[in-house]
Amino acid sequence: MTERPMPTEEGILAFHKRCEDFYPADAVDADIAQQRAWYDALCAAFDAPPPEGMVKEDGLVAERIPIRRYRPTGIRTSTRLYYIHGGGFVVGSLDSHDAICAELSEAAGAELVSVDYRLSPEHVWPAAFDDCWAVLVALLREGRPVVVIGDSAGGNLAAGIVLKARDEGLKGIVGQALIYPGLGGDLVSGSYVEMADAPGLSTADVAYYRDVYKAPDDATHAFPLRATELAGLPPAFITGAYFDPLRDDARAYAARLILAGVPVEYREEKQMIHAWLRARFMSEGAKKGFAALCDAVRRMANP
């Protein structure tokens, strides 16, 4: 039996243990209501107060899609950030990534909008994608530049709507930041094999989430790595975690974007596991990775 791949950084190991106290490794075997209850408790455990003076306002797009707007005290740009949360298309909400959104908004000196898209299995492909797309269109129609950001499943949705915007000639996206994104890798090679039993996310988990989401194989916007042409996309910041079955999706997409002539900044967090954004107050590696993300987003929003 092969040894389970594990990082050695004490902070990220402590983070992983704390996560498993709330969200067991076999969580995907539980019913959806239980998964969401565990995930909500996990998110609450890592919550943090907003930066001083931060204003938050909840609203709706198209009278049905919940969003949350963040306004920091020191706005330095007209560009807005658009954040799409992770959670395997199954869990997550406006609250699950609230602190992360607030801190990104503050760091960039930019307004941020997050979206509460419909979740699977109640709403399969393309419901989540359509919700995220509708919010993007609404933001761009207001005539201000947008940086699209997403982690994990949110990274998938972010990359997909950016692709669709290019395909439809929609202008105004000045950057995309993809954080340990799942982009449609083959599940049977590279990191999907090497990190099949990585802490925090297994290849079996990835397969489960894809099955629940039910995007057809020919839906290019659901599997951005399968797009035949990537030229003409906005500059990208892509960060992957070494101990993550999704690692090679990030590597491969960054490489293909570079070959297509797209400006790319790529990082691979060598001691990190999937979902390390939440570990930014426990792990030195996560703290540095989050600082790099904030810096990249700030530069995209303040050219």
Catalytic residues: 152, 244, 274
* Closest C-alpha to 128, from 95, 98, 87: 87
How does strand 80-84 pair with strand 112-115? parallel
Report the sign of the C-alpha dihedral through residues 279, 111, 61, 165, in that order: negative
- Is the Cβ–Cβ distance between 162 and 233 less than 8 Å? yes
DSSP H helix total and E strand total for the chain: 9, 8
In the numeric block, the tokens 């969200």 are attached to: 23
- Is the Cβ–Cβ distance between 111 and 75 less than 8 Å? yes
C-alpha–C-alpha distance, residues 226 and 218, integer Å: 9
* Closest C-alpha to 179, from 148, 203, 204, 205: 148
Phi and psi dihedrals of 158, rounded to 5? -60, -50
- Is the Cβ–Cβ distance between 244 and 191 less than 8 Å? yes
